[in-house]
């Protein structure tokens, strides 16, 4: 009996901890697996993939730093947490934003473990986030000439991806949301796109208007399978975005942009797929559409947020030059 107790103590068992964390002797890796099993029933596919990725990186580091054997979850201490975050700090390829994303996830993960009785306290609590760098966005709006080149090239080479671009440009839908749209979300008769709350970044249920000029491009899509993804994850050719039973990952959109569009059209890195949303908001406001209507189309909570996306165009400058702002 004494030998068994000594072995448990050596593995990190603490009898005083059992009351607050009765599952503290479960191995760290099994504990993280328990988290993933629960989230597999709750989370969206892309969120679950992110969870798995974070945990894979963290457990890989643990195995290289004393957890090569199945050590209990209680051995993941404050010192462990700080050491891992320092390890990320030493990686030149990790930005402040990515570092903060790791911290947020690991805090959430261990808060869940604490709630479920695996650990008595959260080892990542109290670690401060890195401040955001006050730098300008690394993207710009398209010129009219660049837009025309983009749409003409896609009309000739990839009509499905042209529809992706137009949903971003004219309906102000985010690429991640576009990737999760279903065929049934497109109502051609009402000229609306339904962005369901479960796929929206802000968790709001919204409907975006399809402009008349854009409608013909969406009418060409095969919407005959209402439950299919509007843009599918089709195997084989990397440029196939036809509707399918499994949604395309937004990273496939970014990959197509980098591998095909940018080289073909000579676009700089500042022109990104998301730049289409900025450009669309700017162009719609410049065309005279009331800012509150632009705000509604973008599903922003207030006009101030919409204003952030507005770029400067020569037409706007001309109006400012001729504005009668002095009293007569």
Q: Supply the pLDDT for residue 14.
A: 55
β 186-187/192-195 pair status: antiparallel
Q: Minimal CA–CA distance to 85: which of 66, 61, 120?
A: 61
- How far apart are the C-alpha atoms of 99 and 195, rounded to whole Å? 30
Q: Supply the pLDDT for residue 237.
A: 52
Q: Supply the pLDDT for residue 2.
A: 55
Sign of CA dihedral 149, 152, 158, 159: positive
**pLDDT, the chain, mean:** 84
Mean pLDDT of 184-191: 94
Q: What are phi and psi for residue 188, nearest 5 degrees?
A: -70, -35
Mean pLDDT of 159-188: 94
- How far apart are the C-alpha atoms of 281 and 309, rounded to whole Å? 7
Q: Supply the pLDDT for residue 1.
A: 42
Confidence of residue 152 (pLDDT cuts 50, 70, 90): very high
- How far apart are the C-alpha atoms of 145 and 126, rounded to whole Å? 50
Confidence of residue 17 (pLDDT cuts 50, 70, 90): very low
Mean pLDDT of 231-254: 81
Q: Supply the pLDDT for residue 304.
A: 72
Q: What are phi and psi for residue 312, nearest 5 degrees?
A: -95, 130
Give strand pairing partners of 42: none
Q: How many angstroms separate the Cα of 14 from the Cα of each of 8, 141, 237?
A: 8, 59, 56
Report all structural domains of the chain as residue ranges with CATH numbers, in order of start: 11-115 (no CATH), 144-311 (1.10.443.10)
Confidence of residue 268 (pLDDT cuts 50, 70, 90): very high
Sign of CA dihedral 34, 35, 36, 39: positive
Question: How many helical (H) and strand (E) elements, i.e. helices and strands, does the chain have?
Answer: 15, 3
Contact 203, 214 (CB under 8 A): no
CA 267 centroid distance within chain: 23
In the sheet that holds 192-195, the strands lie side by side as: 186-187, 192-195, 206-209
312 vs 218 pLDDT, higher one:
218
- Give the SS3 label for residue 209: strand
Q: Supply the pLDDT for residue 65.
A: 86
- How far apart are the C-alpha atoms of 13 and 52, rounded to whole Å? 27
Q: Supply the pLDDT for residue 311.
A: 62
Q: Supply the pLDDT for residue 282.
A: 87
Contact 257, 142 (CB under 8 A): no
- How far apart are the C-alpha atoms of 1 and 52, rounded to whole Å? 39
Mean pLDDT of 128-156: 84
230 vs 67 pLDDT, higher one:
230
Contact 123, 76 (CB under 8 A): yes
Long-range Cβ contact pairs of 152-158 (< 8 A, separation 24 or more): 153/261, 153/264, 153/265, 154/261, 157/239, 157/260, 157/264, 158/239, 158/241, 158/256, 158/260
CA 12 centroid distance within chain: 38
67, containing H or E segment = none
Give yes or no for residue 108 having a pLDDT over 90.
yes
Confidence of residue 102 (pLDDT cuts 50, 70, 90): very high
Q: What percent of the chain has pLDDT over 90?
A: 53
Give yes or no for residue 323 having a pLDDT over 50.
no
Mean pLDDT of 247-262: 88
Give yes or no for residue 327 having a pLDDT over 50.
no
Q: What percent of the chain has pLDDT over 70?
A: 84
Give yes or no for residue 321 having a pLDDT over 70.
no
- How far apart are the C-alpha atoms of 149 and 8, rounded to whole Å? 68
pLDDT, tens digit (0-9, with 9 covering 90-100), for 120-134: 999 999 999 988 764
Q: Supply the pLDDT for residue 320.
A: 45
Mean pLDDT of 35-52: 87
Q: What are phi and psi for residue 185, nearest 5 degrees?
A: -80, -15
């Amino acid at each position: 009996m004494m030998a068994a107790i000594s072995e448990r103590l050596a593995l990190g068992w603490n009898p005083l901890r059992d009351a607050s964390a009765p599952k503290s002797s479960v191995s760290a890796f099994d504990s993280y697996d328990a988290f993933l099993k629960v989230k597999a029933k709750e989370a969206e596919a892309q969120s679950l993939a992110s969870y798995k990725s974070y945990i894979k990186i963290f457990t890989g580091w643990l195995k290289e730093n004393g957890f090569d054997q199945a050590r209990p979850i209680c051995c993941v201490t404050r010192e462990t947490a700080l050491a891992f975050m320092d390890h990320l700090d030493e990686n030149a390829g990790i930005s402040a934003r990515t570092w903060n994303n790791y911290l947020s996830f690991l805090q959430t993960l261990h808060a869940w473990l604490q709630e479920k009785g695996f650990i008595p306290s959260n080892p990542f609590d109290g670690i401060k986030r890195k401040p955001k760098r006050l730098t300008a966005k690394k993207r710009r709006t398209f010129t009219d000439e660049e837009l025309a080149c983009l749409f003409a090239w896609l009309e000739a080479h990839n009509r499905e991806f042209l529809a992706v671009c137009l949903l971003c440009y004219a309906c102000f839908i985010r690429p991640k949301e576009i990737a999760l749209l279903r065929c049934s979300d497109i109502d051609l008769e009402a000229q609306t796109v339904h962005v369901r709350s479960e796929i929206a970044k802000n968790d709001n249920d919204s409907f975006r208007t399809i402009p008349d000029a854009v409608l013909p491009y969406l009418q060409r899509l095969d919407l005959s399978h209402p439950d299919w993804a509007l843009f599918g994850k089709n195997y084989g050719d990397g440029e196939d975005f036809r509707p399918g039973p499994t949604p395309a990952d937004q990273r496939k959109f970014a990959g197509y942009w980098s591998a095909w569009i940018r080289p073909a059209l000579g676009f700089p890195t500042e022109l990104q797929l998301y730049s289409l949303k900025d450009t669309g908001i700017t162009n719609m406001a410049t065309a005279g559409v009331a800012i509150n209507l632009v705000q509604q189309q973008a599903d922003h909570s207030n006009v101030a947020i919409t204003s952030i996306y507005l770029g400067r165009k020569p037409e706007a400058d001309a109006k400012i030059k001729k504005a009668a702002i002095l009293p007569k």
